[in-house]
Amino acid sequence: MFIKLLILIIAAVVVYRAVKSRLGGQPHQKVRSTGAKPLQADDVMIQDPQCGIYFARRQGVVLQQDGREVYFCSDACKEKYLAKQQK
């Protein structure tokens, strides 16, 4: 009796999977919009050349040096960097 029940359960699972795969596999999921803005080019993480921490470029302090922009996490790191460059 136990073996008959086990065979019946296995057969039911096989039939269920076969029917499910024939009818389209996985159900479709709805995608909801969160209203968040898409990432922009200034949303990249960069490393502070003075202290070494990573921060979002848009939140950094900018220094124009030799025709290029150098970004710092704070004014204090910018000042330390400039003092180190003058030595």
Please check whether residue 7 lies inside any domain of the structure: no
Backbone phi and psi for residue 53, each to the nearest 5 degrees, phi listed first:
-80, 155
Task: Classify residue 61: in a domain, yes or no.
Answer: yes
Percent of the chain's residues with pLDDT above 70: 78
DSSP for residue 45: E
Q: Which residues pair with 70 in a beta bridge?
A: 63
Whether residue 16 is contained in a domain is answered as no
Give residue for tokens 């039911």. 12
Number of domains present in the structure of the chain: 1
How far is the CA of 38 from the CAs of 11, 25, 41, 43, in angstroms? 49, 31, 10, 10
pLDDT at res. 27: 59
Question: Is 68 a member of any domain?
Answer: yes
Low-confidence ranges of the chain (pLDDT < 50): none
pLDDT of res. 47 = 94
Q: Considering the domain boundaries, does residue 55 fall inside one? A: yes
Q: Which domain holds residue 81?
A: 41-86
